[in-house]
Amino acid sequence: MKLHEYQSKHFFARYGIPIPKGRVAANAVEAKHIAQELGGRVVIKAQVLVGGRGKAGGIRLAKSPEEAEELAGQILSMKIKGLPVRKVLIDEAASIDKEIYLGITNDRSARKPVMMASSAGGVEIEEVARDTPEKIVKVYIDPLLGLRDYQARDIAAGIDLPRDHWRIFGQIANGLWQAYRESDATLAEINPLIITSKDQLIAVDGKMVLDDNALYRHPDLAEMRDLDVEDPSEIEARKYGLVFIKLDGNIGCMVNGAGLAMTTMDIIKLFGGSPANFLDIGGGASAEKVTAALRIILTDPNVKTVLFNIFGGITRGDEVARGILVAMNELKKEIPMVIRLVGTNAEEGRQILSDADMITAETLADAAKKAVAVAKGDYKQ
Amino acid sequence: MSILVDKNTRLLVQGITGNEGDFHTRQMVAYGTKVVAGVTPGKGGEWVLDGKIPVFDSIRLAVNARGANVSVIFVPARFAADAMFESADAGIPLIVCITEGIPVQDMMRVRNYLDQKGARLVGPNCPGLLTPGEAKVGIIPGDIAIPGNVGVVSRSGTLTYEVLYALKQENMGVSTCVGIGGDPINGTNFVDCLEMFEEDPNTDQVVLIGEIGGSEEEKAAEFIADCMTKPIVGFIAGQTAPPGKRMGHAGAIIEGGSGLAADKIRALEMADVQVAQHPEEIPGMLK
């Protein structure tokens, strides 16, 4: 789950990381008042969960409250990469001497958090990693011991930070680590951390991504979820404990198991078709869950056929079949469907569906070929 | 005989009195696994499965009383890390965690701690282990595999079942099937299992089932090229997965251009692994 810049910065501030004076506005008049409060030049920043806000014109400098109102009005009417700008952050503008990158993420291969820094701040870290990787300094943080003070000093030295700043930098690095750890983040990033012309260190931008599996223990953070970035079907699916990802093909898929669901999409493509979605109904799904899943798949107008691939371990074929029948009756959709049921109660499941005019298959390959043929309009009994 | 679990396994079930724990313990016992104890804090002194299995409040008590040497965990995600720490501290050498949804920072702490204690973890978010004819530790259906000489190691659940079933249809048997799970940080990975299969006199060839995300298949390819003599057949799920999206499994995500199925397939093929286009091709590719 992604947090907005203003949410991330406020969170960082709780851990002693200096951030600019500023507040969030939802309309141009509010923006003007905040600019008046702050006095002087301000930066108006679109709060949307995508990169490239600056390039899209979503980050502008205002020299007066009137200009702030004007620019905020413009930015709040923008869409950046398809996302509407609902809020802007009005920050005191700082004069920047130097820009640093400082971030923490999980290094999967090392099985540890890694803190990275570079003196090439203000640029996407992926670009730096690609073009000038030698500019990135990394320290691996022991997940049991946490960030050691000497590690922060190693980073400071590695990015040629003047010694005058080492103490404050250490506090910021430690604050970032604490923020990361205590929020169960998978990414916590300050880009850029600036040194102002008055020699102060300030986190001018902030980004946090949180581990969805840990949100149960952060209800206050979970509440901050921005639903704009999610497809309505994905939001609906989550309510039922389903994982649904929309694709742009015309063969809907319903499968039990993530690996098998990916395989089902792959095999459809292998035989010349195009999957419309990824959908994992999980283990032991109830009929209600299956009905909800089919309903979600069929909200996509592109779907010409649905392929069910159910390998029942704890998932029962008869339960799945009942769920499908309820959905078919409720939705009264007349599209042909292909069903492949193996495992627990598969025979009972097939019996239940035998009157429902569904195309059956024994193997996954056969089911996929049939679904592709149906979608193309080529299928013959 | 085979790897990790066999007829000498003395299994302890953490979370035995919960719905999942109870259901799957019955299946494991029916399969012939020696389930010697259960642990549910607060329910010590009870007997489950029609009075056959004693429940203890702690792992230490269960180990002392019943000599358990493997633990399988059916505990909810929020309590799973504690369950793993407790087992490691009680000296259990092999811990199999079925639970999905464990916070990744919990898993970093668990893995690093268990490495120091010398305890092996399989999982989390996995279906467990199956040595056909001898032991079922987890939720892999017992009737889809027969004993034999093919080792199977997989990140998936039902996709693994698909492969076991396809092997059974061709009368091909399995030495041990290891589900390493779908999480980004886990206890045991491909290389660990390949190493064990290479040493196992009961395993003649190996099937490796991977998916998008991370670089463990690439590490496996290197290991195979440098250290393995036994033939491997592979399959990688997720060639059609869109980048940046978590495809069900917490570890199944293409991030910043890495973790692509195509790269994994290429790496494995360069190590002389035959990679199937779909799982039902696998039996035909084995010797």
pLDDT tens for each residue of A221-257: 999 999 888 889 999 999 999 999 999 999 999 999 9
d(CA A186, CA A34): 32
Q: Nearest 5°: CA angle at B40, between B109 and B35?
A: 95
Closest partner residue to B247 (CB to CB) among A113, A258, A344 is: A258
Report chain B residues whose CB lies below 8 A from the CB of A213.
77, 101-104, 250
**How many angstroms separate the first and last alpha carbons of chain A?**
46
- Each residue's pLDDT tens digit, A364-373: 999 999 999 9
- Is residue A66's pLDDT more than 90? yes
Residue range B97-116: mean pLDDT, rounded: 98
- Is residue B68's pLDDT more than 80? yes
pLDDT at B39: 98
Q: Nearest 5°: CA angle at B113, between B112 and B116?
A: 90
d(CA B259, CA A226): 27
Using the beta-carbon criterion (under 8 Å), do A260 and B156 form an inter-chain contact? yes
Question: What percent of chain B clears pLDDT 70, i.e. is strictly above it?
Answer: 100
A323: left (phi over 0), alpha (psi -120 to 50) or beta: alpha
What residues does A60 pair with on adjacent strands?
A44
The one-letter code for the residue type at B184 is P
The confidence band for A334, taking pLDDT boundaries of 50, 70 and 90, is confident
Give the rounded distance of the alpha carbon of A81 from its chain centre. 15
- Is residue A124's pLDDT more than 90? no
pLDDT at A284: 85
Query: Is B24 labeled as catalytic in the residue annotation?
Result: no
Residue range A39-54: mean pLDDT, rounded: 94
Interface confidence, given as ipTM, is: 0.96
- Asked if A130 reaches chain B (Cβ–Cβ under 8 Å), the answer is no
Quick one: angle between helices B216-227 and B261-270, nearest 10? 0
Surface of A (215-274) touching B: CB under 8 A = 216-217, 243, 245, 247, 255-263, 265-270
Residue range A64-79: mean pLDDT, rounded: 96
The confidence band for A218, taking pLDDT boundaries of 50, 70 and 90, is very high
d(CA B12, CA B18): 14
- Each residue's pLDDT tens digit, B194-236: 999 999 999 999 999 999 999 999 999 999 999 999 999 999 9
CA diameter of chain A: 80
Residues with Cβ within 8 Å of A364's Cβ and at least 6 positions away in sequence, in order, are: A263, A264, A267, A309, A340, B162, B278, B279, B280
Tally of CB atoms within 10 A around B195: 14
Closest partner residue to A278 (CB to CB) among B141, B247, B280 is: B247
The confidence band for A5, taking pLDDT boundaries of 50, 70 and 90, is very high
Nearest chain B residue to A126 by CA: give it.
Answer: B256
**In this structure, are residues A70 and A28 in contact, taking their beta carbons and an 8 Å threshold?**
yes
**In this structure, are residues A251 and A371 in contact, taking their beta carbons and an 8 Å threshold?**
yes
Residues B93, B98, B103, B108, CA torsion sign: positive
Take residue A153 and report the two structure tokens written for it: 């000093």
Residue range B46-74: mean pLDDT, rounded: 97
d(CA B97, CA A256): 20
Residue range A167-178: mean pLDDT, rounded: 98
Using the beta-carbon criterion (under 8 Å), do B238 and A363 form an inter-chain contact? no
Rg (CA), chain B: 18
Residue range A180-190: mean pLDDT, rounded: 98
Q: What is the mean pLDDT of chain A?
A: 94
**In this structure, are residues B93 and B71 in contact, taking their beta carbons and an 8 Å threshold?**
no
**In this structure, are residues A361 and A370 in contact, taking their beta carbons and an 8 Å threshold?**
yes
**In this structure, are residues B5 and B135 in contact, taking their beta carbons and an 8 Å threshold?**
yes
Per-residue CA distances from B213 to A314, B4, B98 (Å): 26, 26, 20
What is the number of residues in chain A?
381
Report chain A residues whose CB lies below 8 A from the CB of B78.
216-217
Residues with Cβ within 8 Å of A172's Cβ and at least 6 positions away in sequence, in order, are: A16, A17, A18, A102, A190, A193, A201, A203
- Is residue A297's pLDDT more than 90? yes
Higher pLDDT, A278 or A381: A278
**How many angstroms separate the first and last alpha carbons of chain B?**
21
Instruction: Please tell me the distance in Å from A123's CA to the nearest CA on chain B.
Output: 15
Instruction: Please tell me the distance in Å from B196's CA to the nearest CA on chain A.
Output: 21
Higher pLDDT, A110 or B1: A110
Against a cut of 0.80, is the pTM above it? yes
Residue range A312-326: mean pLDDT, rounded: 88
Does residue A192 have a cis bond before it (omega within 30 degrees)?
yes
Using the beta-carbon criterion (under 8 Å), do A364 and B279 form an inter-chain contact? yes
Give CB contacts under 8 A, 24+ apart, made by A284-288: A284/A314, A284/A315, A284/A316, A285/A256, A285/A315, A285/A319, A285/A320, A285/A323, A286/A319, A286/A323, A287/A319, A287/A320, A287/A322, A287/A323, A287/A326, A288/A240, A288/A323
**Mapping DSSP to helix (H, G, I), strand (E, B) and coil, where does residue B160 land?**
helix
Residue range B8-30: mean pLDDT, rounded: 96
Using the beta-carbon criterion (under 8 Å), do B156 and A313 form an inter-chain contact? no
Nearest chain B residue to A279 by CA: give it.
Answer: B248
Closest partner residue to A143 (CB to CB) among B109, B161, B215 is: B109
Q: What is the DSSP letter of A227?
A: G
What residues does A117 pair with on adjacent strands?
A102, A137
The confidence band for B101, taking pLDDT boundaries of 50, 70 and 90, is very high
- Is residue B2's pLDDT more than 80? yes
The one-letter code for the residue type at A311 is F
**Mapping DSSP to helix (H, G, I), strand (E, B) and coil, where does residue A100 land?**
strand
Residue from B214, B227, B211, B209 nearest B271 by CA: B227
Using the beta-carbon criterion (under 8 Å), do A217 and B103 form an inter-chain contact? yes
d(CA A240, CA A229): 19
Take residue A94 and report the two structure tokens written for it: 């700082």
Q: Nearest 5°: CA angle at A288, between A287 and A290?
A: 65
Query: Is A182 labeled as catalytic in the residue annotation?
Result: no
Burial of A196 (C-beta count, 10 Å sphere; 0-12/13-18/19+): middle
- Is residue A140's pLDDT more than 70? yes
Residue range B166-173: mean pLDDT, rounded: 97
Higher pLDDT, B63 or A227: B63
Take residue A151 and report the two structure tokens written for it: 């590690």
d(CA A89, CA A48): 10
The confidence band for B1, taking pLDDT boundaries of 50, 70 and 90, is low
The confidence band for A122, taking pLDDT boundaries of 50, 70 and 90, is confident
Residues A103, A109, A110, A112, CA torsion sign: positive
